[in-house]
Amino acid sequence: MTARRLRIGVMGGTFDPIHHGHLVAASEAAVALELDEVVFVPTGNPGNKKVISSSEHRYLMTVIATAANPRFTVSRVDIDRPGVTYTIDTLTELSKLRPDSDLFFISGADAIAQILAWKEVDRIWPLAHFVAVTRPGHQLQLPQVKEARISQLEVPALAISSTDVRNRAAVGKPIWYLVPDGVVQYIAKHKLYRGHGDSVHN
Ligand code: NAP
């Protein structure tokens, strides 16, 4: 008898910081897609995009936020790979590490909507299914490509955004209940997002 292939979610994101919207999205995707595990993969260097916190801070906040869930893990593949982070490299590396698995790349709908512009997109399709998470009512134009496996999942808690959390932290407004308690404490301890929070570290 052949063993069942594992179904692994790959939550790709900057996670600056991780918040309850991301965690609910991962949990909803795990139920809807019958996933055995969800691996959170904080982006290393996202290229031109401005990232406020260092990779290590974003990685550690992701570890703290996911620690209590036995099905959630965190991978360093993107933050340990030198150079700009491309999803083709993320998925190639994870497929080699987990050859017994089917991968489901989960990310924000706005990010997935741009996938046709991603590096080596034709090589990406066979590596994973793609799940674009949106808030309810959000109309999305998903790319129409024959070989692509792309689906959409509505997640009410995605009304929370990292930008809003950063803006609140920058002016000392509370961020309790938007992010896990341990992440609130980590942000306070390391004084993340204080002031204008413009500087870029990677
Ligand atoms: P982004 O453009 O910062 O995010 C777009 C939207 O999606 C934001 O509203 C964001 O909300 C949300 N979002 C991001 N990740 C999410 C997740 N895992 N679950 C739910 N919502 C999410 O996107 P990004 O974070 O830079 O990139 C997302 C993923 O796509 C990363 O894995 C990145 O490496 C990959 N990517 C690859 C390429 C490429 O290969 N060329 C190009 C771009 C992105 P929050 O701000 O609240 O998170």
CA of 59 to the centre of ligand 1 (A): 15
Closest ligand 1 atom to residue 85 Cα is 34
Output the residue whose Cα is nearest ligand 1's atom 4.
111
- Kindly give the number of the ligand 1 atom that is closest to the alpha carbon of 165: 47
Statement: residue 164 has pLDDT above 70: yes
Average pLDDT rounded to a whole number, residues 165-178:
96
- Percent over 70 (pLDDT), the chain: 96
pLDDT tens for 106-136 read: 999 999 989 989 999 999 999 999 999 998 7
Domains in the chain (CATH in brackets) are: 4-158 (3.40.50.620)
Output the 3-class SS for 118-163: CCCHHHHHHHCEEEEEECCCCCCCCCCCCCCCEEEEECHHHHCCHH
Ligand 1: residues within 6 Å at CB?
A: 11-14, 22, 25, 43, 46, 49, 85-87, 106-108, 110-111, 118-119, 133, 161-163
Instruction: Inform me whether the pLDDT recorded for 146 exceeds 90.
Output: no
**Could you tell me which residue, 174 or 148, shows the higher pLDDT?**
174
At 152, the pLDDT band (50, 70, 90 cuts) reads very high
For residue range 55-99, what is the model confidence (pLDDT) as tens digits? 999 999 999 999 999 999 999 999 999 999 999 999 999 999 999
Is pLDDT at 22 greater than 50 in this prediction?
Answer: yes
State the pLDDT confidence band at 17, using cuts at 50, 70 and 90. Answer: very high
Tell how far the Cα of 195 is from the centroid of ligand 1, in angstroms.
24
- Give Cβ neighbours of residue 21 (< 8 Å, ≥ 6 apart): 155, 157, 158, 159, 160, 161
What is the number of the ligand 1 atom nearest to the C-alpha of 26?
A: 19
State the pLDDT confidence band at 201, using cuts at 50, 70 and 90: very low
pLDDT at 98: 96
Q: What is the pTM of this model?
A: 0.95
**Is the confidence at residue 145, as pLDDT, over 90?**
no
Nearest residue (by CA) to ligand 1, atom 18, is: 107
* 112 CA from centroid of ligand 1 (Å): 8
> What does the alpha-carbon distance between residue 158 and residue 124 come to, in Å, rounded to a whole number?
26
Ligand 1 atom index nearest CA of 160:
47
Q: What is the pLDDT confidence band of residue 1, given thresholds at 50, 70 and 90? A: low
User: Distance, CA 1 to ligand 1 centroid (Å)?
Assistant: 39
